[in-house]
A and B are shown apart, each in its own frame.
Chain A
Amino acid sequence: MNTTRWLGLGITLLAPTLWVPATAMADTLEAVQERDSVRCGVNAAQPGFSSLDDNDQYRGLDTDVCRAIAAAALGDASKVNFVPLDSVERFAALQSGEVDVLSRTTTWTSSRDTTLGMNFTGVSYYDGQAFMVASDLGVQSAKELDGAAICTQSGTTSELNLSDYFRINNMTYDAVVFDSPEQSIAGFEAGRCDVLSSDASQLYAQRIQLADPNMAVVLPEIISKEPLGPAVRQGDDQWFNIVKWSLFAMLNAEELGVSQANVDEQLSSENPDVMRLLGQDGDFGEAMGLSSDWAYQIVKQVGNYADIYDRNVGADSDFNIARGLNALWKDGGIQYAPPIR
C-alpha cells in the first residue's frame, strides 16, 4: 500500500470522529434504548451513596436513583452501566457524553447549573457541610477550630465553604487537599490534619470506616447548604424530564403510601392519585416517550424514596442517619414533589 492510500485511509477513518460531537447530544433516550443500558456516573467508593458490596454490585442512594431511571426508561432496573468518576472528572464525563446522567453526590449550585452545560434535575439528598475532629482534642464547636489543619477533597464545594466560613469568623486554617476521599481519611487518621471536612452524610460514613469510630466526633455545626442531585446535559429536554420525574415518582410514591412491598396491591387502589402514578388512569409516560407503567416499574424494582433512603443511609443501614431535611414535607422535612397528573 503506498503513502497516498494510507493517507486516504487515515482521512476516511478520522473524518467521522470530527463530526461526532455535534450529534452526540441529540436524543439521549433513543441512544439509551438502542444501547439497552443507562450509563450513570457515580462515586467509586462512598458508602451509603455509591460503593461496591461484597458481590461487586454498586449499592447506595445515588446508584438507586440510576436504577430508577433505568426502570423508567428501559423497564429493567438492572440495565445500568455504572461509571465510577472522581470529583475532578465528573463534569467532563457528563459534558462529553461518556455518561447519560451524573448521580454522584454533586451539589447543585448556580455556576454549575449555568456555565457547565448541564442541568440539575432535582434534589435526591439535602446535605450540609460539617466537621469531624479527633475526640481527644476536646473540641465542642467549629468556632474553636482557629489555626487547625483541615483535610478536604479537591474540586468540591467544601473547599470554598471552608474558606468562607473561616473568613467570616476571623479564623485561619491550613487546607490539606487530597483528590480522593480515601486519601483524605488516611491523612486524617495519620494526624496530618486536625479536622476532616465534607458533607455531613459523607463524614458519618467515613467515621464508621475508621479503625476506631469513637476516636472521632462530628461537630454539630452545618456550615453550608448542599443539595445533592442528579444532573444531565443541557439541550435534551426529554431526557431531562425522564430523570427529573423518575425522582419525583419515588417521592410521590412515598407520599401516597405506595412502596416496593405493596405496589402490586396498590394497582387495584381506587385512589385517583395512585391510579395516575401507577398508570392505571391516563398515560403520563407517553409524553416522555416511556411506557404507561414507568412509575410502577420504578417502585416495583427499586422502591419509593423511603425504601431507598432507609436501605442505603437510613434506619436499615449502618449509618442510621435520621431523615431530617430529607423527610417528606408533610413529615417536617422539605422533600416535596410536584403531583403526577
Chain B
Amino acid sequence: MSVRPNARPAGHKPPFWRDRAKRALIFQCLLIAAVIVFLFYIVGNVQDNLSSRGITTGFGFLNNTAGFGIVQSLIDYSSQSTYGRTFFVGLLNTLLVGGLGVIAATIIGFIVGIARLSPNWLIAKLAAAYIETFRNIPLLLQIFFWYFAVLRTLPSARDSLAFGEAFFLNVRGLYLPEPLFESGFGLIPVTFVIAIVASIALVIWAKRRQEATGKRIPAYWISFALIFGLPLLVMLVTGVPITWEMPELRGFNFRGGITVIPEFLALWFALSIYTASFIAEIVRSGIQAISHGQTEAAQALSLPRNLVLRLVVIPQALRVIIPPLTSQYLNLIKNSSLATAIGYPDLVSVFAGTTLNQTGQAIEVIAMTMAVYLTISLLVSMFMNWFNARVALVER
C-alpha cells in the first residue's frame, strides 16, 4: 500500500465541514429533505383547501359509470363503461395518431429532405417550397385547414364517392371493408412470423457471407418475396378463409366495415405534414454535415449514387440526425393533444376534457394526463437513445 506524501497522520482528520465530499453530501441531503418537505406541504395544502371548499378528492371516480359516448374506440367501450375506461380509450387514440404520425412524418421527411439536395432543380425547389410553407404555418391552423377544407369538399353520406362497392368516402369519413377471419385463418399469421424470422436469418447470413467471401445475393428481395409470398401461398392453399364485411348505407350513415373518422384523418395529415417539414431539414442538415470529401471518395470508387447514399453518407449522417429527430417525435406526440380542437377523441379531449368536466376532479385528471405524456415521451427518448447508440459509428 502506498502512502501519499502529504497524507495526514491518523487521528488528525479534518473536521467534516472542511471535507469537500462530505460537505457536498450534506448539502444534497438537505436539498432533498427540503424538496420532500415542500412537496408534502403543497400536497397537504391542496388537500386542506379542497376539503375546506367541499370539493371531493381521490381516484374513486375512476370506477363510476362514464355515461357519455366516444366516437372512436380501439377497445370495447359503451356509455356504460367507467371513467377509468375512458382513460384507456383516450390513451389508445393518442397512441394511434401519434404512432402513425411518427411513421408517416419520418417517411415524408426523409423523402423531402433528400429531395431537397437533389441535383434536379425542380425537385429541389419543390422540396424547399414544401418545407418553407408547412414549417411556417401554425400547426393548429393546419389542423383546422385539413379538417374544414377536407370536410367541406367531401360529399354527404348519400352521395358518397364510391371506389368499387367496397370503399366509400364522404364527409363522415372513409369506410373500408372489414375482414372477418374464419377458422383456419390462424395459420396465416404463423407463416407470416416464420417468414419474418427466416428473412432476418437470411439477411444476417448474407451479410456474413459477403464479409467473408465478397459474394452478394439479393437478400432483401428474397426476404420481401418470403414475407409476402409465403402467407399468400398458405392463404390460397387453405382456400382464402376470409370474408369481407362491406360497409352499407343504412339510414343516416354507412354501417358495417371499418370507419376512419375525418377527425383522425385531418389530425394525422396535419401532424405528419407539419412534422415532416422539420424532419426534412434535419435530414438535409445531417447529410450536409458529412464532408463532401466522403462522397467524392465514394464516387472515386465508382459506387453508384444510391450506394454512396446508403453505404457512406447515411450511416454517418444518422448520428447527426437522430438526436434532433427524437425531439421531433416527442413534439409530434405532444402536439397530438391539439386534437381537442377538432373533436378527435384523444386523451386530452376525452379524459382531460369530458371526464374532467363530468367529475370535476381537475387535479387528479390533469396529473394522470401529464404523467401519461411524460411516460410516453421518456419511453420514446429511451428507445431513440438506444437506437442512436446502436447505429452510431464507432469513433476511431
Contacts and interface: CB of A to CB of B under 8 A. Distances in A.
B342 A163 contact: no
A143 interface: no
A164 B356 CA distance: 19
A115 B79 contact: no
A95 B51 CA distance: 12
B351 to A, nearest CB: 11
Given A179-B341, A190-B148, A234-B53, A18 B45 contact: yes
Contacts, number: 129
A91 B42 CA distance: 21
B28 to A, nearest CB: 16
A162 B52 contact: no
Given A155-B354, A160-B358, A187-B343, A149 B172 contact: yes
A235 B52 CA distance: 8
B20 interface: no
Contacts of B53: 25, 95, 117, 233-235
Interface string B341-359: 1110100010001101111
B358 A155 contact: yes
A211 interface: no
Contact of A235 (B54, B156, B172): B54
A88 interface: yes
Chain B CB within 10 Å — which of A18, A87, A149 has the most? Answer: A149
A234 B353 CA distance: 24
Interface stretch (A168-176, A243-251, A270-278, A331-339): A168-176
A173 B341 CA distance: 21
Counting chain A residues whose Cβ lies within 8 A of the other chain, the interface size class is 35 or more
Given A95-B53, A235-B52, A147 B69 contact: no
Interface string B6-47: 000000000000000000000000000000000001100100
Given A117-B53, A176-B343, A154 B357 contact: yes
A215 interface: no
A155 B355 CA distance: 7
B71 A117 contact: no
A267 interface: no
A117 B50 contact: yes
Nearest to B50: A117
A261 interface: no
Contacts of A187: 151, 343
A147 B250 contact: yes
A95 B50 CA distance: 9
B237 to A, nearest CB: 40
Contacts of B342: 178, 183
B55 A115 contact: yes
B323 interface: no
B353 A175 contact: no
Given A149-B252, A235-B54, A92 B343 contact: no
A194 B343 contact: no
Q: Which of B41, B341, B343 has the most CB of A within 10 A?
A: B343
A159 B68 contact: yes
B67 interface: yes
Given A163-B79, A190-B148, A175 B70 contact: yes
B189 interface: no
Nearest to B154: A191
Contacts of A286: none
Interface string A105-120: 0000001101111000
Contact of A177 (B171, B349, B362): B349
Contacts of B343: 154, 176-179, 183, 187
Nearest to B48: A22
A190 B262 CA distance: 12
B381 interface: no
B254 to A, nearest CB: 9
B252 A183 contact: no
A148 interface: yes
Interface residues of B, number: 45
Dominant secondary structure of chain A at its interface with chain B:
mixed
A147 B252 contact: yes
Nearest to A111: B360
A170 B253 CA distance: 17
A333 to B, nearest CB: 30
Given A18-B45, A163-B79, A179-B340, A116 B55 contact: yes
A186 B252 contact: no
Contact of B69 (A173, A183, A186, A194): A173
Contact of A163 (B69, B148, B171, B357): B69
Nearest to A21: B49
A178 B358 CA distance: 15
Contacts of B42: 18
A117 B71 CA distance: 31
Nearest to A235: B53
B292 interface: no
B55 A117 contact: yes
A146 interface: yes
B310 interface: no
Contacts of A88: 353, 356-357
B354 A177 contact: yes
A105 to B, nearest CB: 14
A191 B353 CA distance: 24
Interface of B: 41-42, 45, 48-50, 52-56, 67-71, 79-80, 148, 151-152, 156, 171-172, 250-253, 255, 262-263, 340-343, 345, 349, 353-354, 356-360, 362
Given A154-B349, A159-B69, A178-B343, 16 more contacts: A18-B45, A87-B357, A88-B356, A91-B360, A92-B362, A116-B360, A147-B255, A148-B252, A160-B67, A162-B69, A163-B68, A179-B349, A187-B343, A190-B148, A192-B151, A192-B172
9 contacts: A91-B360, A91-B362, A95-B55, A116-B55, A160-B67, A160-B68, A174-B69, A177-B349, A235-B52
